[in-house]
Chains A and B, each alone.
Chain A
């Protein structure tokens, strides 16, 4: 008995020691590891999908926080809308949600991984190039937002996979990022992307072109803006990408069709890029709480209401003309009154238009005006203006280049309310001081940039705050 038990025990011990290491190795079941991902065509696709998922979170409030609220379009609700009050008042504290760049860097991180791993996947070369092109363009887009909002920002062009890669980086000059990352990425994307692809809720060739124009305009390379329009945009198929001319009485329905999710599903050809939201998928955006709900966080400013001429069909397409605190209740939703009505609830998950052809025509007009081709500039300025029911501007209407620029900016303001453009327009054209100073005393150069969020300063001591703002 005794020896037998000892034998059993010895046997047990030996088998134990051998099996111990495999016993202690547990592979994840509900997640993938590095060894099991980035292998197939499908992996490439879902890897790129993750970039858009991150981008949709960045745009959920960032579209307006970064691109519009600081301008003269909106005033904040005086109760509970503390972050928005800071933005419309242009005194931004360092814990404002708009000062946080996490979501944009999530886009960059996911894009970096796609750019690193997709080339080694064995798959159809056309698709491979297209996915890669999407990733390059999305990275460029995210960095373009970063430099416009914060100026210099930390630069990451490889995915971070372990801490030892150096994660406490300093900020890199915005010029280096624009010249060495954003522009080359867009070139790459234009080269790689499948030009026949017309998916409007993912990256496509038209959006790459629009981005190229926007970045060049931001850098005041107006020659390049013109070149891209004339060489690249003009070569796009007009059956897919075109400024739609809404005629007659249907302007209201057709123009709004760009912003309202239609059940039929076809997005008007003017739209280049819509970021998609689904309440039960990637989540909601802030459009309802910002503009639509009965106590919306922001109201439309009086100067915005007054900018429209009485003939302009766009004004009645965007809000109801009642009430003193005017809310933008119509632009993104089927019915201006839906938010009062619990029977037919509207989710805050409408897709958001980020680029459309109107942007191309007006950027082009701006560039033409800059280089002195005023006559052409006015022609392009009139495109959106006349389709909205206004009389066209004549060459004789203007005396100076600045007057034309003012008209273009006004037209952009009328066309793109709620599309996250106005603030960047004011900065790009250096009009921020003359427009914002009367409203909220904004007068200092440093106020153009946003502060860097307190969390970023705490989490990385190599990040220094933008001048003028409080440190940690």
Chain B
């Protein structure tokens, strides 16, 4: 595999070098004009494009700002253009022409990408945040998620785990769905895409996050979770580039978790055996056995310092009628757990050709291939902490110790388990743009996504539990979709003050998904993981399933503004989807928005010295979500009912003709402020999102013969506030310093659920979903303490606690508030009705019936954070620049599920944490925090607030110090520029949370979060790199 990757790489490299001089042009000798281009501070500007008007002739200024150009005759006009400066056009008189360029006020011309078009940033009436390629690069990200994290107010990004190649959960303005369709819609160069995992962040020109309904509703039924628009780079005529980037980094575990050593474990064994068998001693039989007399730190054994290498090559440029951007990138990332890694090769070709002045045709092609070599979280990470420390990992002959008592050997599983996946992605976009006149434009495109995912799993026999047979899994997920979009745009100005923009179009999209599952059994050798080594096949899990889905849509937009002072915008999309019942197939998604630039009002002119620019925005719109199964509305019969080697066919899904869209109505009020001569830029938004007709799997009475049905039930709301401020503290030639801060709050509430019946969700049933409550509430038992004595379980008739007093070890009397109590004594019981004893956990008895049952569960925490955001600052002095980026989240609770299982004292082969061993109840009278170490249904009741912890954190996510080697030196070695940098990612975490990392995601279910199942821990990374511009 790696060999072929290299091969592809070399070919692409060659291809790339042949193209890099495409834009060179020849000039005929006539008159030589020379001059200097400088800014208003009389500093030379390097790289200014100087062009003869109405021709191809042009040049750029050198290091001294000097240019020379041959022009055919005098009285010609030259244009001078450079990014960040106003283009200037001057008539040539004589042979010398010095020019002073004025900086542009960036605000006025910044353009952002919106659905089916672009808009001036200052004219936006919706809530759109945009991120430039510069701030992506600064974060040295592996994927787009890392690039986005902490940069946009109201966008919460939590990477799934620290496993190499892992994606992330991204939530824009909270959760507005009950089911797994909680991802935003990704649109890459206009192509809707399922995921952005394999996209090379260095190919990205800009990312726009469409947060409110007015911006997102143009994408209709797929936009309820927000839309992320990604624009890839395109060649620039003024600036032909050939870039080479290389980086290398080293990563390690952020911190170790406490794990019991052999002495602690043996103490635990002896206490446990005292209460189970009556003998108070530790015995493993043979005291010389190599197997029982080790003390192994599995964390040291399994974690390592991991390397990451990345090389990127890109070339871009443009001629008069041709633009191109080509890139190829290779990433190799090792995981911090042995034998886990990820590598990716991706390539992109963006080309645009303009055969006539009216017609543009183009093509964007992306290909990526990635290989992930993962580890089994259950087989490695759980056992890593639970494994008995004196159990050997290796036999004396060096082979791995096999599975014992259904516990895998984590080292052997990490080394020998097969957990491979490959992803092949191919995306193509062909487009055509025809300008009828300067107002009217027609755009048509065809887009295709092809996505093939392969996945192989195998576990060698030695690591299986007693009754398991070797099982090899080979899954293929083939996914392709195509779409055709056609739209007209018409933009015009009336009397220079009235600006009208409009767009209308339609699209068709077809999706095809094939799942191929193969499961082989009883392998004849462990050395081959492919299914040819299997002796039998698992019929139930060997199948292929194909499903299809189509959508047809019409959409339009009209925008009007008067002098950019009064702004108005309206969108409408009309979507039809094959997924819904015939009677509910079509849905309309309208939105309107308006803005008022009050800073331009005459009566507010007095504010100008302080308020540079100010605008209020108001928007309202409806977005939808159609992320359900392709045939959920049909009565289906499936061949899933196997008996006696025949696949019986039975009804598997109830028909439901009224199945319809999930509908989110969103209100947004925003304020854009630019203060202090444009040095401070503030954006603030308040929003309210109400989602109704929530699509949800509803539990049916099981008497019907069906388990669940998908219905539109329930409603939820998200309300939040976002604030971001950017301050250009210093900005001059040598010294630049800017800071960026954002904060967001979001409260997700459940308004209505199916039949009002609350239910449990998530691992360990920790999350309770009920009406008028927040999402992510943990329900469980409140642990009051551990009974010190058998006699401590004594209460008055009103459940007031009695204190036992002893005389010579015999109960003398009970006291209540210091005075002797002689009344009736009640005892708390477990669910089976047995009195609790010393060493048992006392849970709060909410319903005061003396018995600990389900009815005593109560609110014990909430996973939703109160506020989150990022802080970053850029500081540059001459050639040095420094970026520091923080990400924070406050107020979310975490349920330490895996920790609660480790300390449940149920299984002999599970080792509790050292904290539990040191604080468990061992004898009558112990004041303990953990119960008696014997298996007990009552003591291991979960979830318990004992395992709820505050998950607030501040993370030092990015630090990067770069140095740009002076242009003069660079040019001596025939390079345009060289930048070297060192960086660190995820360097520090400030938190009280005691697990590996308070930042993790608990899977794709939007209703469950904050349940720590000990996922692959995140790493801290330190690296260096070089960027060369040829």
Contact = CB atoms under 8 A, between A and B. Distances in A.
Among B578, B643, B644, the one with the most A-chain Cβ atoms within 10 Å of its Cβ is: B643
Interface stretch (A87-95, A217-225, A259-267): A87-95
A282 interface: yes
B643 A161 contact: no
Contact of A167 (B635, B704, B833, B906): B704
B637 interface: yes
A180 B713 CA distance: 37
B709 A163 contact: yes
Task: Say which size band chain A's interface belongs to.
Answer: 35 or more
Nearest to B658: A163
Contacts of B506: 13, 16
B834 to A, nearest CB: 10
Given A5-B434, A53-B643, A105 B649 contact: no
Contacts of B499: none
B547 A30 contact: yes
A285 B510 CA distance: 43
Contact of B635 (A110, A162, A168, A201): A162
Interface string B574-593: 00111000000100000000
A33 B646 contact: no
Contact of A456 (B547, B631, B701, B706): B701
A89 B937 CA distance: 15
A102 B649 contact: no
A315 interface: no
A371 interface: no
Interface in A167-216: 167-169, 201-202
A46 B705 contact: no
Interface string A27-62: 011111110110000010111111111101000000
A247 interface: no
Contact of B703 (A20, A46, A105, A470): A105
A110 B641 contact: yes
A278 interface: yes
B700 A459 contact: yes
Contact of B757 (A28, A82, A459): A459
Given A28-B547, A31-B652, A459-B757, A91 B832 contact: yes
Given A26-B550, A470-B853, A100 B486 contact: no
Interface in A302-346: 339, 342, 345-346
B795 to A, nearest CB: 22
A49 B648 contact: yes
A102 B510 CA distance: 38
B357 interface: no
A262 B199 CA distance: 57
Interface string A341-358: 010011110000000000
B877 interface: no
Contacts of A36: 637
Given A345-B466, A345-B469, A162 B655 contact: yes
B602 interface: no
Contacts of B647: 46, 49
A109 interface: yes
A281 B540 contact: yes
Contacts of B630: 26, 28
B163 to A, nearest CB: 30
A25 B585 CA distance: 10
B578 A26 contact: yes
Contacts of A16: 506, 508, 552
B527 to A, nearest CB: 20
B637 A32 contact: yes
Contacts of A202: 644
A156 interface: yes
B302 interface: no
Contacts of A12: 486
A447 interface: no
A263 to B, nearest CB: 15
B538 interface: yes
A115 B544 CA distance: 30
Interface in B649-685: 649-657
Nearest to A2: B436
A53 B706 contact: no
Interface residues of B, number: 76
A54 B642 CA distance: 9
Nearest to B580: A24
A34 B635 contact: yes
A222 to B, nearest CB: 32
A201 B644 CA distance: 8
A280 B521 contact: yes
B546 A29 contact: yes
Nearest to A111: B705
B603 interface: no
A106 interface: yes
Contact of A109 (B434, B644, B705): B705
Contact of A108 (B538, B631, B705): B705
A455 B650 contact: no
A56 B935 CA distance: 32
B637 A37 contact: yes
A6 B693 CA distance: 40
Nearest to B759: A458
A372 interface: no
B546 A30 contact: yes
A52 B537 CA distance: 22
A282 B642 contact: yes
B935 A460 contact: no
Nearest to A201: B644
A459 B643 contact: no
Among B434, B486, B630, B650, the one with the most A-chain Cβ atoms within 10 Å of its Cβ is: B650
A23 B548 CA distance: 11
B549 A26 contact: yes
A160 B704 contact: yes
Contact of B643 (A43, A52, A160): A52
Interface string B689-716: 0000000000111111111010000000
B612 interface: no
A162 B634 CA distance: 10
Given A201-B644, A470-B853, A30 B651 contact: no
A333 B470 CA distance: 22
Interface of B: 434, 436, 442, 466-467, 469, 486, 506, 508, 510, 521, 536-540, 544-552, 576-578, 585, 630-631, 634-639, 641-657, 699-707, 709, 755, 757, 759, 831-833, 853-854, 906-907, 935, 937
Q: Which 6 A-B pairs have the closest CB atoms?
A: A109-B705, A49-B648, A50-B650, A50-B648, A50-B641, A53-B641
Interface of A: 2, 5, 9, 12-13, 16, 20, 23-26, 28-34, 36-37, 43, 45-54, 56, 78-80, 82, 85-86, 89, 91, 93, 95, 100-102, 105-106, 108-110, 112-113, 153-154, 156, 159-163, 167-169, 201-202, 276, 278, 280-283, 288, 293, 339, 342, 345-348, 454-456, 458-461, 463, 470
18 contacts: A24-B551, A28-B630, A31-B653, A32-B636, A32-B637, A32-B638, A36-B637, A46-B639, A49-B648, A53-B648, A91-B833, A109-B706, A112-B705, A167-B700, A281-B540, A339-B466, A456-B701, A461-B755
Given A16-B506, A460-B703, 15 more contacts: A9-B442, A24-B585, A31-B631, A33-B636, A46-B649, A50-B641, A79-B906, A106-B702, A110-B650, A161-B635, A280-B521, A280-B536, A281-B645, A283-B540, A288-B467
